[in-house]
Amino acid sequence: MKVRRIYQDLKKFIQPNKALLIFGPRQVGKTTLMEDFISETNDKTKVVTGDDITIHNVLSSQSLKEIKSFCEGYELIAIDEAQKIPNIGIALKLMVDQIPGIKIIATGSSSFELAGQTGEPLTGRKTTLMLFPIAQMEMLFHLNEFELKEKLEDFLIYGSYPTIITSKEKEVKIRLLNELVGSYLFKDILDFERIKNPQVLIDLLRLLAFQIGSEVSINELSQNLKVDNKTVKRYIELLEKAFIIYVLHGYSSNLRKEISKKSKYYFYDTGIRNAVIANFNPLVQRNDTGQLWENFLVIERIKKQKYTSIFANNYFWRSWTKKEVDWVEEREGKLYGFEFKWSLKKLKPPKLWLDTYPEASWKIIDKDNYLDFVAY
């Protein structure tokens, strides 16, 4: 079953003498997306993987002669797991600049090496696409709105990874999620970064998992973990780069009545979050449904922003009197406020929010209208 419907036509993103880079978490379908395109293209294609040591030697050599010889006779070079190849950015730059008409597509499961190495060398020479776990807007290709809403609890508990969505049995979903957490979640971090104490990283992730949607300070985390602030900041940055957590900062126009120093942390996938805390109970047996709902909406909105080119700065807002707006988008010179509610009840916008930002909007996102917010 082809569940991925984002970037169905990669052809429009692939241009001669430019590199197309596809980033995203592990196991979301980047390789499959690339393979599907290759199977349909008429270009003579060379497919290699960053796991191959021979490819390492050639592409990290920085030798134009070797790289030209490697590409000779091909119109398209496809590189899977490109982040594993040392100096891949320089190799891609040499191809793009020195081989007339060459097309390049490369996937990277982490932003560590690939983004770090391709940033400067490929300035103006690349197109970057992000691929996340399956978006609700993609699911509407397979299900109608009624059917999709019927499966909402499944998305909150088991998440949206392709293998999870296509698995029918709950026991299989749980096993696959535990395998994802055990085998893949930290792989890039441990491969590319020298982590002295991986257990601290795991403990930090568990702490964040129990506090999704809550404001958390670095000081609180460092005290709980008994490590210094610098270590906590570094580990959070690594978890961000590995597409495991998303960090949301507070909005403030520097008014004394607003708080903006603490941050909120969300998981890119609710199934991964539930696997980290080993809780796959149905919603009627949980006390964190509101948190899951908030996490789900935040990430689905981010997917929609990326896939439909909504350019916005994202924040939450909170006052010293504990009045909140869950999600604030700053775009086109305006503020858009959203309140996420699992239970269907009428609420009024915080008076301080409207008084402080009279031109800002405010809207409740609930089970009735959430698809307008994340899918349409």
Q: Identify the top-confidence range among 127-131, 195-199, 301-305.
A: 301-305
Q: Does 4 reside within a domain? A: no
Please identify, among 130, 149, 176, the residue that sits at the C-terminal boundary of a domain.
130
Higher per-residue pLDDT: 2 or 131? 131
CB 232 within 8 A of CB 221: yes
Q: What is the CATH number of the domain that holds 123?
A: 3.40.50.300
Residues 256, 121: one domain? Answer: no
d(CA 269, CA 242): 12
Q: What is the mean pLDDT of the chain?
A: 91
Residues 25, 46: one domain? Answer: yes
d(CA 315, CA 247): 9
pLDDT confidence band for 257 (50 / 70 / 90): low
pLDDT confidence band for 323 (50 / 70 / 90): confident
Q: Look-up: residue for tokens 């958390």?
A: 216
The answer on pLDDT for 131 being more than 90 is yes
Please identify, among 130, 155, 177, the residue that sits at the C-terminal boundary of a domain.
130
Q: Kindly state the helix (H) or strand (E) to which residue 57 belongs, with its residue range.
A: helix 53-59
Q: Does 269 reside within a domain? A: yes
Q: What is the mean pLDDT of residues 282-286?
A: 98
CB 20 within 8 A of CB 105: yes
The answer on pLDDT for 192 being more than 90 is no
> pLDDT by residue (tens digit) across 136-155?
999 999 999 999 999 999 99
The answer on pLDDT for 61 being more than 90 is yes
Residues 242, 115: one domain? Answer: no
Q: In total, how many domains does the chain have?
A: 2
Q: 175: Cβ–Cβ under 8 A, 6 or more apart, which residues? A: none
Please identify, among 130, 162, 182, the residue that sits at the C-terminal boundary of a domain.
130
d(CA 213, CA 203): 18
Residues 230, 258: one domain? Answer: yes
Quote the domain boundaries for residue 40: 10-130
Residues 194, 266: one domain? Answer: yes
The answer on pLDDT for 195 being more than 80 is no
Q: What is the mean pLDDT of residues 350-354?
A: 91
Q: What is the CATH number of the domain that holds 345?
A: 1.10.10.10
Residues 29, 143: one domain? Answer: no
Residues 189, 216: one domain? Answer: yes
Q: What is the mean pLDDT of residues 268-296?
A: 98
> pLDDT by residue (tens digit) across 219-248?
999 999 999 999 999 999 999 988 999 999
Region of 314 on the Ramachandran plot (φ > 0 left; ψ -120 to 50 alpha; else beta) = beta
Q: What is the mean pLDDT of residues 337-357?
A: 91
CB 208 within 8 A of CB 245: yes
Q: Does 3 reside within a domain? A: no
Residues 49, 111: one domain? Answer: yes
d(CA 99, CA 335): 46
Residues 155, 74: one domain? Answer: no
Residues 202, 147: one domain? Answer: yes
Q: Does 231 reside within a domain? A: yes
The answer on pLDDT for 204 being more than 90 is yes
Q: Does 237 reside within a domain? A: yes
The answer on pLDDT for 311 being more than 70 is yes
Q: Kindly state the helix (H) or strand (E) to which residue 247 belongs, with its residue range.
A: strand 245-250
Q: What pLDDT does 233 receive?
A: 93
pLDDT confidence band for 87 (50 / 70 / 90): confident
Q: Does 317 reside within a domain? A: yes
CB 119 within 8 A of CB 89: yes
Residues 106, 142: one domain? Answer: no
Q: Look-up: residue for tokens 């707006």?
A: 325
d(CA 69, CA 284): 62
> pLDDT by residue (tens digit) across 14-33?
999 999 999 998 899 999 99
Residues 107, 142: one domain? Answer: no
Q: What pLDDT does 119 receive?
A: 66
Q: Does 172 reside within a domain? A: yes
Residue type, 315: Y
Over pLDDT 70: what percentage of the chain?
A: 94
Q: What pLDDT does 188 receive?
A: 76
Q: Does 171 reside within a domain? A: yes
